[in-house]
């Protein structure tokens, strides 16, 4: 063993002299150079880990670092594990323990070799030759007529793929299918949107579910309901549940669920059915028959020449337990059922400049430790959330300092639609800063605990499918104090089809003690601020532009003995709020129970600019028990003195009229908001929508594009490439689909694939309907 270690040390040091690291974490310390180890697809774990003799696995590189430490010769500048280009298939978790730590001056850096693309994947690529036409009469008889000849199948069981997971759970996401990087849809009805509950016929008894009737027609006769599910907003418009079907009577439109939903069930609420072979009628849909082990797929365009992937591995890709000073940098992680990285404890661990996408779980979960975080990374297409941060000590109010900084996080909460946010802050003293967050059905940031900081974030296009919800949310606590929401830019959070409350910042159910300063709001559908009976909240020095209501005070009437009241008051028992440390940090909290705690006292709303937006609203009690003063209004966004309002530059000029109208207003550092790091992975282009309804024989169709610095390469349908100028017109920020081209499509669902210079594609499903076709649930 000693001989092997000596050889490893000599060779590794020799490699270090030949190659330097590329990231700041891997640069030389005080003139020293990190030792360089190498991992490659064509390597061998019998090799010595040098550039010309690389290891084959991360585990072997990890063990080499351990050998250096155990031999007493750990390098003074640390170790860079350079991973050569290629795709690395994960079938087990890469586990790091305390002995795998670096030091503050000598970290261990697992990084992509400079200039090379490294991808960690938890799935398999399904070769086009594996997809065969459906020939079994029993299956063909169940397929929709309009899909005849278009459905292909793969026998997964014959390929040795037998772990299909379970649908409808939040703990483990079932396998997902990806076509050219786009997640496919389990065959559903209706194809888009929802149908609705007509009447609730029977409420649950012990261990049973609901019986209800549903609206709308068009369901095909189903021969089986095995593994058929429903996703719905059953009792409200801010929380979803997946429910299995115990029985269905399609003639009477009556369903019995296998269990109760979390928030009861009400008439008029939304839901849809999914994973139904008889409803496999739209491009991009698929069904997995778990018993037979067969996958049925309606490809958007022919499979040949395209990439089809199935996510399979469901554990953490990387798990770190009480590890410190370890960095993962420049890596892509994708096509996976679980979480990418799970960090428990330790300090100064970082995920930097990574691209994490097409996951069923979270990108990064950090639980405990301090100064652990995610920086400069691009996170998208997540089944659950982006970055979950936990840590800090409630007894001592010691901050963890865990962070999500300078990341772009988008298109998350695909599977678990609600209460899975881009960034979640729990505990004490964590932060979400300089992030760009967009495209989600519900929250952008949620926080629980104390002394969290949310600043310099750009947030837009969220709360797209929910109501009584917001971009940043917290609620139901008097003791979660010291939180700050400042210098953020919220925009284009517009009222959705529900026509109900969509807010930018929502402090729900008596949430108290939050500082909200220096934020800019533009085109917020309902409320910029929504405050529900909390205390000692500060709304100061903000600008609200072209929005529904600037500040809305909401009323809550909790009563002793009620469930929600007990939940609110129980948090006093969870923290030492009367201790000396807490009293020094939050002086008013110790005596709150003797000061009419359910009254909204001591809120401050002052020195805010309200520009072509609704006024401050609420009952007089909120105004009388707090301070509402020195808030000024402008009729138009050209009046306050913004640098360039036409181009949405809301930086205030030095001579801005706002400063004269509101002396003491502090200039908001608008130019500093958003992602400021350089070196993020290449941004992909996106479509503004992924599905659209088109009336048969309608006019031209317009599709918005978010190019993100790329160019459009082509547009294709099932017959091949479209002709620019004849079939469509590229207008830069949108594509105009010509009426003459769209007219060839019969009623039904059709797909277009947009290919971009960044190497990604995006799919648009067009549902061609008669112009008088009623919507599902009508």
Domain shared by 88 and 235, yes or no:
no
Of 480, 373, 379, 378, nearest to 426 by C-alpha is 480
Structural Rg of the chain based on CA atoms: 28
Could you give the 3-state DSSP secondary structure of residue 390? strand
Could you give the 3-state DSSP secondary structure of residue 748? strand
Q: What's the mean pLDDT when you consider all of the chain?
A: 93
Task: Identify whether 350 is part of a domain.
Answer: no
**Higher pLDDT pick, 438 / 30:** 438
Judged against a pLDDT cut of 60, whether residue 149 lies above it is answered with yes
Name the burial class of residue 596, with classes exposed (0-12), middle (13-18) and buried (19+) by CB atoms within 10 angstroms of its CB.
Answer: exposed
Cβ-based neighbour number of residue 363 at 10 Å: 30
What pLDDT is attached to residue 395? 98
pTM of the model: 0.94
CB 211 within 8 A of CB 254: yes
Average pLDDT over residues 725-732: 97
What pLDDT is attached to residue 459? 99
Domain shared by 179 and 156, yes or no:
yes
CB 394 within 8 A of CB 450: yes
Domain span at 743: 686-769
Judged against a pLDDT cut of 70, whether residue 580 lies above it is answered with yes
Task: Identify whether 615 is part of a domain.
Answer: no
Judged against a pLDDT cut of 60, whether residue 25 lies above it is answered with no
Of 62, 57, 165, nearest to 109 by C-alpha is 62
Domain shared by 720 and 737, yes or no:
yes
Task: Identify whether 104 is part of a domain.
Answer: yes
Residue 279's φ and ψ, nearest 5 degrees, are: -105, 15
For residue range 386-418, list pLDDT tens digits in order: 999 999 999 999 999 999 999 999 999 999 999
Residue 30 pLDDT level (bands cut at 50, 70, 90): low
Domain shared by 34 and 102, yes or no:
yes
Least confident of 28-42, 287-301, 535-549: 28-42
Buried b (16+ CB within 10 A) or exposed e, 274-311: bbbbbbbbbbbbbbbbbeebbbbbbbbbebeeeebbbb
Domain shared by 58 and 194, yes or no:
no
Judged against a pLDDT cut of 80, whether residue 13 lies above it is answered with no
Domain shared by 32 and 110, yes or no:
yes
Task: Report the number of distinct structural domains present in the chain.
Answer: 4
- State how far the alpha carbon of 484 is from the alpha carbons of 263, 296, 450, 475, 540, in Å: 31, 49, 9, 14, 12
Residue 734 CA, chain-centre distance (Å), reads 25
Residue 138's φ and ψ, nearest 5 degrees, are: -65, -30
Task: Identify whether 759 is part of a domain.
Answer: yes
Could you give the 3-state DSSP secondary structure of residue 694? strand
Domain shared by 162 and 291, yes or no:
yes
Domain shared by 182 and 193, yes or no:
no
Judged against a pLDDT cut of 80, whether residue 566 lies above it is answered with yes
CATH label of the domain that carries residue 725? 2.60.40.10
Judged against a pLDDT cut of 80, whether residue 572 lies above it is answered with yes
Judged against a pLDDT cut of 50, whether residue 21 lies above it is answered with no
What pLDDT is attached to residue 342? 99
Domain shared by 305 and 170, yes or no:
yes
CB 481 within 8 A of CB 513: yes
What pLDDT is attached to residue 8? 47
CB proximity list for 389: less than 8 A, separation 6 or greater = 366, 373, 400, 402, 403, 404, 423, 424, 425, 426, 427, 430, 432
CB proximity list for 626: less than 8 A, separation 6 or greater = 600, 601, 602, 603, 604, 605
The percent of residues in the chain predicted with pLDDT above 70, rounded, is: 94
Name the burial class of residue 659, with classes exposed (0-12), middle (13-18) and buried (19+) by CB atoms within 10 angstroms of its CB.
Answer: middle
Residue 497 pLDDT level (bands cut at 50, 70, 90): low
CA atoms of 414 and 421, how far apart (whole Å): 11
The helix (H) or strand (E) run that includes residue 397 is: none
For residue range 593-634, list pLDDT tens digits in order: 999 999 999 999 999 999 999 999 998 888 899 999 999 999
For residue range 203-237, list pLDDT tens digits in order: 998 778 999 999 988 899 999 999 999 999 999 99
- State how far the alpha carbon of 310 is from the alpha carbons of 127, 210, 338, in Å: 11, 34, 13
Residue 40 pLDDT level (bands cut at 50, 70, 90): very high
Task: Identify whether 412 is part of a domain.
Answer: no
Of 93, 43, 35, 44, nearest to 65 by C-alpha is 35
What pLDDT is attached to residue 32? 82
Task: Identify whether 713 is part of a domain.
Answer: yes
Judged against a pLDDT cut of 80, whether residue 140 lies above it is answered with yes
End-to-end CA distance of the chain: give it in Å, rounded: 75
CA atoms of 69 and 680, how far apart (whole Å): 32
Residue 771 pLDDT level (bands cut at 50, 70, 90): confident
Judged against a pLDDT cut of 60, whether residue 11 lies above it is answered with no
What pLDDT is attached to residue 528? 98
Domain shared by 693 and 748, yes or no:
yes
């Amino acid at each position: 063993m000693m001989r092997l270690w000596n050889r490893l040390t000599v060779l590794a040091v020799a490699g270090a002299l030949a190659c330097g690291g590329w990231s700041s974490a891997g640069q030389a310390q005080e003139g020293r150079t990190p030792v360089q180890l190498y991992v490659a697809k064509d390597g061998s774990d019998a090799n010595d880990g040098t550039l010309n003799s690389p290891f084959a696995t991360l585990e072997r590189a990890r063990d080499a670092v351990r050998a250096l430490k155990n031999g007493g010769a750990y390098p003074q500048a640390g170790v860079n594990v350079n991973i050569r280009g290629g795709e690395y298939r994960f079938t087990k978790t890469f586990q790091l323990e305390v002995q795998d730590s670096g030091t503050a001056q000598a970290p261990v850096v697992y990084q992509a070799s400079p200039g090379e693309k490294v991808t960690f994947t938890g799935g398999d690529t399904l070769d086009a030759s594996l997809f065969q036409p459906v020939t079994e009469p029993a299956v063909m008889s169940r397929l929709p007529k309009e899909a005849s000849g278009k459905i292909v199948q793969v026998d997964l069981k014959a390929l040795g793929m037998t772990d299909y997971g379970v649908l409808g759970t939040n703990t483990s996401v079932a396998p997902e299918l990806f076509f050219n990087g786009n997640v496919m849809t389990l065959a559903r009805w209706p194809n888009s949107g929802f149908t609705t509950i007509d009447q609730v016929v029977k409420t649950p008894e012990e261990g049973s579910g609901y019986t209800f009737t549903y609206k709308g027609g068009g369901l095909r006769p189903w021969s089986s309901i095995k593994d058929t599910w429903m996703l719905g907003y059953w009792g409200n418009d801010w929380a979803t549940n997946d429910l299995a079907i115990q029985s269905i009577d399609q003639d009477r439109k009556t369903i019995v669920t296998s269990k109760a939903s979390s928030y009861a069930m009400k008439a008029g609420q939304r839901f849809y059915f999914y994973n139904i072979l008889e409803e496999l009628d739209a491009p991009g849909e698929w069904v997995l028959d778990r018993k037979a082990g067969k996958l049925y797929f309606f490809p958007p365009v022919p499979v040949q020449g395209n990439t089809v992937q199935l996510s399979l591995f469901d554990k953490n890709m990387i798990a770190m337990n009480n590890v410190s000073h370890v960095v993962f940098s420049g890596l892509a992680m994708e096509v996976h059922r679980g979480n990418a990285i799970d960090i428990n404890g330790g300090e100064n661990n970082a995920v930097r400049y990574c691209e994490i996408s097409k996951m069923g779980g979270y990108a990064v979960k950090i639980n405990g430790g301090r100064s652990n975080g995610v920086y400069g990374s691009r996170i998208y297409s997540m089944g659950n959330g982006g970055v979950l941060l936990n840590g800090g000590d409630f007894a001592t109010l010691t901050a963890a300092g865990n962070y999500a900084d300078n990341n772009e996080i988008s298109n998350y909460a695909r599977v678990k639609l609600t209460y899975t946010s881009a960034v979640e802050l729990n505990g004490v003293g964590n932060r979400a800063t300089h992030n760009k967050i967009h495209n989600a059905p519900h929250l952008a940031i949620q926080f629980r605990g104390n002394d969290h900081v949310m600043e310099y974030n750009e947030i837009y296009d969220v709360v797209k499918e929910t109501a009584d919800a917001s971009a940043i949310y917290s609620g139901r606590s008097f003791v979660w104090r010291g939180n700050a929401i400042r210098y953020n830019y919220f925009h284009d959070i517009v009222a959705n089809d529900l026509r109900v409350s969509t807010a930018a910042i929502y402090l729900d159910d008596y949430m108290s003690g939050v500082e909200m300063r220096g934020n800019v709001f533009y085109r917020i559908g309902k409320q910029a601020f929504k405050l529900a009976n909390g205390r000692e909240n500060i709304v100061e020095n903000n600008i609200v532009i072209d929005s529904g209501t600037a500040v809305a005070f909401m009323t809550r009437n909790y009563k002793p003995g009620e469930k929600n009241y007990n939940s609110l008051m129980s948090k006093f028992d969870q923290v030492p709020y009367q201790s000396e440390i807490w009293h020094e940090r939050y002086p008013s909290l110790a005596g709150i129970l003797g000061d009419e705690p359910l009254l909204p006292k001591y809120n401050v709303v002052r020195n805010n600019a309200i520009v072509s937006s609704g006024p401050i609203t609420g009952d007089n009690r909120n105004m009388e028990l707090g301070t509402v003063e020195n808030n000024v209004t402008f009729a138009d966004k050209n009046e306050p003195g913004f640098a360039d309002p036409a181009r949405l530059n809301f930086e205030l000029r030095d001579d801005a009229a706002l400063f004269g109208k509101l002396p003491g207003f502090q200039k908001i550092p608008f130019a500093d908001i958003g992602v400021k790091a350089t070196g993020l992975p290449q941004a992909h282009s996106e479509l503004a929508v992924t599905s659209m309804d088109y009336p048969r024989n309608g006019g031209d169709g317009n599709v918005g594009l978010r190019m993100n610095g790329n160019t459009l390469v082509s547009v294709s349908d099932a017959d091949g490439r479209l002709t620019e100028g004849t079939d469509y017109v590229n207008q830069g920020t949108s594509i105009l689909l010509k009426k003459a081209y769209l007219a060839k499509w019969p009623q039904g669902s059709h797909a277009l694939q947009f290919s971009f210079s960044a190497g990604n594609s995006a799919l648009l499903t067009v549902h061609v309907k008669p112009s008088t076709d009623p919507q599902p649930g009508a």
